[in-house]
Amino acid sequence: MTVASQASLQLHHLNLQSTLQRVAASHFDIVLDLVLRDTTALEECISALAPRRTYVVGVCCPLEILEERERSRSDRGEGMARSQFGHPAYSRPYSMRLKE
């Protein structure tokens, strides 16, 4: 990853944490749908939500289904599902794991 890409990703994480802190202080219910392979970024997001009870839910399904869904969505680049599938970060402990 280039230095510019790393800086951009870090800025994105800081903006996300700031937004989560503001939303956590509101009266709104929160459902956050993220794919975070970076354990530190995930922990920082959970910390930003600290005033609230937080559950981390893992959603799992076979690679073939992920790739089928990927093809049906215009906002997904080809190969994203395969690149994320089986990544060690997703073996982290979850409050709940849903499997298809």
Q: Mind listing the pLDDT tens digit for each residue in 34-60?
A: 888 888 888 999 999 988 999 999 888
Say whether both 50 and 60 belong to one domain.
no
What is the C-alpha to C-alpha distance for residues 51 and 49, in angstroms, rounded to an integer? Answer: 6
Domain containing residue 72: 56-100
CB 58 within 8 A of CB 97: yes
**Residue 68 pLDDT class (50, 70, 90 cuts):** very high
Q: Is 0.75 topped by the overall pTM?
A: no
Between the alpha carbon of residue 63 and those of residues 34, 56, 100, the distances in Å are 18, 21, 11
Say whether both 48 and 65 belong to one domain.
no
Q: For the chain, how many structural domains are there in total? A: 2
Q: What is the mean pLDDT of residues 77-99?
A: 88
